[in-house]
Amino acid sequence: MTTGNRDWDFEILQQRLEMRERQIDAVHRVSAALFSKSDLDSILRETLHVGLEVVGAPVGSILLYDKDRRRLIFRYVVGKSALIGLEIDPEEDIDGKAATAFRTGKSLLTVNTHKEGYNARFDRATGFRTESIMTIPLRIMGGETIGVMQALNKEGSEFTGEDQELMEIVGSLAATSIMNFRLAEEAKLAAVARAMGDLGHDIKNALTPVETTVSTTLDAFIFPLLDDLESIDFNTTDTIEEYHERVLSLIEPLKDWIPEMQQAMADGCSDIREMVSEIADYIKGAQATNMQRHDIGLVLQEKLRRLRVVAQNRRVKIHVEGLTEAPYFPFDARLVGRAISNLINNALNAIKDAVMKGDLEYRKEGFNIWLRLSTNHEGEFPVGNYCQLEVQDDGHGIPDVVLASLFTPNTISTTIGGTGIGTRFIKSVADSHGGEVGVVSELGKGARFWLKLPLEQEITVR
């Protein structure tokens, strides 16, 4: 090999090494820029700035494909900001480089637009003069093209194949980041949708005592009172004082009922306001478990006050055991309170449903639900150091096919109007506390649900 050939080979090798160094540097820079960003605008901004810098171009743009509109849309632009929001139809724009790269999935180098041609529509709109264009399709693994990145008018020289390789590296990493962002947004929306389902279920539960209170007020007090008032014979020889006493005696039960009615209505409205606020937190991404020290007995008593109206209306007696010895420990009072409300509401609805279907014989003496609380301060969770809440009923029990699905994503319900959401929510509460949940049931003998929470939790600072 001659000296000239060796020099030529060394020069080629040096060029290749320099190219690899530029590629590695581009990967490092775009990786550092992209993977520290969590919003789409920042990802697009960093992608374009890094891409233009590594190829030495002052002007460029990123267009993303909108599947609903079937258009490429300018999402971020350097040097021609008036283009942001403008659209390209990739099927109709035959001459456009962006549309062509998107359709074919292949990069395009347009070294001289005067000779090779291009769609000058956007130059006319902005007053810009495009001399050269490098167009890179943004493709993800699997080959789907999600958009296009362009660099215009390289400074001092023409775009080269090496520039194209560098931009393709930047574009590939950017496409992955954009898709990851979209998947994360979809997952967030799915989580919000699940949360909305949970909250919708609980709002329905919160409305039940309100509806029952209104129904009781009308049926047990207002309508009988009106009937009694209409039946008073004012043609008798009774004195005004006697009529007054009679009317007072008729409205006395209603007066006694009003405070309970007001409390039930206020409780229901308070619960619904809290849930609406929680919906806003989910949408903003601010929803979280709030671990604070509470007296769990007081939390449960408050929930029971809301449910007793419904229970009495359905001839169900709620028995309470162990609440006087309730521990004071960290837990999310909002979530645990909702979980117990769900369990008691489920029991009330299951009893009502079984009687309506004829699976459970109506009992003159009514039915029963037990709420029990027990605590073990010894040992380690889950064997010890726990607070356990149980909700048991003497209803029909749970069919095996339903029992096997409880607390899973495939939970089913045989209760009229039931969705299975309630038990999935209870499982999520147990999980958020590092606790456990379970159920035992036998047809004809009712069901017993339990929620076991560790007594030690890290306090949430707010």
For residues 351 and 314, is the Cβ–Cβ distance under 8 A?
yes
Within 35-153, residue ranges assigned H as helices are 40-55, 97-104, 113-116, 121-126
- DSSP-assigned beta bridge partners for residue 64: 73, 147
Smallest Cα–Cα separation from 293: which of 84, 56, 455?
A: 455
Q: Which residues, given as ranges, of the chain have pLDDT below 50?
A: 285-287, 416-419, 462
CATH architecture observed for domain 289-462: 2-Layer Sandwich (3.30)
Question: What pLDDT is stored for residue 296 in this prediction?
Answer: 93
b vs e for 139-178, b when ≥16 Cβ sit within 10 Å of the residue's Cβ? beeeeebbbbbbbbbbeeeebeeebbbbbbbbbbbbbbbb
| pLDDT per residue as tens digits for the range 387-426 | 999 999 999 998 888 888 887 766 655 554 444 556 778 8
**What 8-state DSSP symbol labels residue 94?**
S
**Distance between CA atoms of 405 and 409, rounded to whole angstroms?**
8
**Distance between CA atoms of 27 and 172, rounded to whole angstroms?**
10
Amino acid at 312: Q
Question: What pLDDT is stored for residue 372 in this prediction?
Answer: 95
| pLDDT per residue as tens digits for the range 336-345 | 998 898 899 8
Question: What pLDDT is stored for residue 416 in this prediction?
Answer: 46
Question: What pLDDT is stored for residue 21 in this prediction?
Answer: 65
Question: What pLDDT is stored for residue 417 in this prediction?
Answer: 46
**Distance between CA atoms of 387 and 96, rounded to whole angstroms?**
68
Query: Is the domain defined by 3-185 classed in CATH 3.40.640.10?
Result: no
Domains of the chain, residue spans: 3-185, 289-462
Smallest Cα–Cα separation from 162: which of 12, 312, 325, 3?
A: 12
Tally of residues, the chain: 462
Same fold, 3-185 and 289-462: no
Dihedral Cα 87, 90, 94, 99, nearest 10 deg: 80
**What 8-state DSSP symbol labels residue 411?**
-
**Distance between CA atoms of 15 and 298, rounded to whole angstroms?**
76
Residue-wise DSSP of 353-409: HHHHHTSS---TT-EEEEEEEEEE-SSSTTTSSEEEEEEEE-SS---HHHHTTTTST
- Give the chain's end-to-end CA distance (angstroms, integer): 76
For residues 387 and 405, is the Cβ–Cβ distance under 8 A?
no
Smallest Cα–Cα separation from 308: which of 271, 348, 349, 356?
A: 348
Question: What pLDDT is stored for residue 162 in this prediction?
Answer: 83
